[in-house]
Amino acid sequence: MIGLGKDYCIKPRAKPHLLFALLLLAGCDSGQAPATNAAAVPPSDPAAMTPLQRAEAGQALWKEKCRTVAGEKIYRTVADVEGLVLLKVRPEASDRQWADPNWPGAAFAGEAYTDEYIKSFLGYEHSPFPTGEPVSSSYRGYVNTDYLPDNPSNLPGYRYVDVIDSEDEQRYRYILVHKPRPTSKIGWIDTLLEKSPAPDPIPRYGVTFEDHMIPEERALGVASSTVRVIDLETDEVLGEMLRYAWSTPASSANPSPWLTAYKCPGHAVGAGAATRKFVDQVLIPRQEH
């Protein structure tokens, strides 16, 4: 199982207008940010603001972006898609990036990266409650690499994913394979990511992302990124998701603020597969028979 399950977070218990609640705790992936009650209009220059003024201004900017521009846009869907090309893969991240106010990938800090990002497109999506409702368009689940016969949902991902290697610029194909574990005495099966040179032709549809570096927004703790699904034959953009995240600076109480940032749109369950769960609304994976 890959690390793409539920997200847990702790919301501030103190009154949200208090300074420590704003500066020490950020939020949850899909929760509502706490309301604030600024006593005065802050200076326009973030460097001249107090920490509380900067937090309030950042929160206000994030809320405005969520209201006016953030969200998912689907222009055209394609059914029965077997595979696609990941034009970029989320790079590895660690505590240093999660605390860096200018880290490019901040808006998708909770997403899987490197091989786990690739796996997120190949795995099954499951209902978070084994005896509950199946996954639906309005209630998404978590992703892992195995079929779970007792789960009400086993929505398949893509059968293969092509990736253009950043070092040798060659295209490789990734699939999931199931192999017996040699050291297991009870027949344990491992699900592995298998890489091989990709055959021609290249898949028609590609997925990419662009992390935005806007200094005046980053100064207020606001990050953004856009995911795009593209028809590579026509250059048509089939869908795009624009996400905004807001967090207060790193502190001893919250050393990795981007991991606890408020995000819109976000996922309360399976945030590590957020890109996959947007893309599969545009490029609908072929169902297994």
Place of tokens 């090309």: 85
Per-residue model confidence (pLDDT) at position 183: 82
pLDDT at 193: 95
3-state SS assignment for residue 139: strand
DSSP for 210-270, please give it.
Answer: EEE--HHHHTTTEEEEEEEEEETTTTEEEEEEEEEEE-PPP-SS-S-GGGG-EEES--SB-
Q: What is the DSSP string of 42-103?
A: PPSSGGGS-HHHHHHHHHHHHHHHHHHT-EEEES--EEEE-EEEESS-PPP--HHHHH-TT-
Task: State the Cα–Cα distance between residues 208 and 198, nearest whole angstrom.
Answer: 18
Domain extents in the chain: 19-34+44-285
Distances (CA, A) of 197 to 86, 118, 171: 15, 16, 6
pLDDT of residue 42: 56
Give the pLDDT means over successive 10-residue stretches in the chain (289 positions): 40 42 49 50 76 93 97 98 97 95 96 96 91 84 90 93 92 92 77 95 98 96 98 98 96 93 92 96 88
Which of 177, 191, 174 is CA-nearest to residue 118? 174
Buried b (16+ CB within 10 A) or exposed e, 133-158: eebeeeebbbbbbbeeeebebbbebb
SS3 call for 282: helix
- Please give the structure tokens belonging to residue 156: 């398949």
Question: CA 142 to CA 153: how far, in whole Å?
Answer: 10
Note whether 111 and 271 are within 8 A (CB). Answer: yes
Backbone angles phi, psi at 6, to 5 degrees: -70, 155
**Residues belonging to the chain:** 289
| Residue whose C-alpha is closest to residue 40's, from 48, 29, 28, 32 | 48
Strands 71-74 and 78-81: unpaired
β-strand partners of 200: none
pLDDT of residue 100: 96
Alpha-carbon 276 to chain mean position: 8
User: What's the pLDDT score for residue 138?
Assistant: 80
CA pair distance 237, 226, nearest whole angstrom: 12
What are the tokens at 113? 């990266």
- Note the pTM of the prediction, 2 decimals: 0.84
Euclidean distance between CA atoms 181 and 175, whole angstroms: 18
Write the DSSP assignment of 90-101 as a string of letters: PPP--HHHHH-T
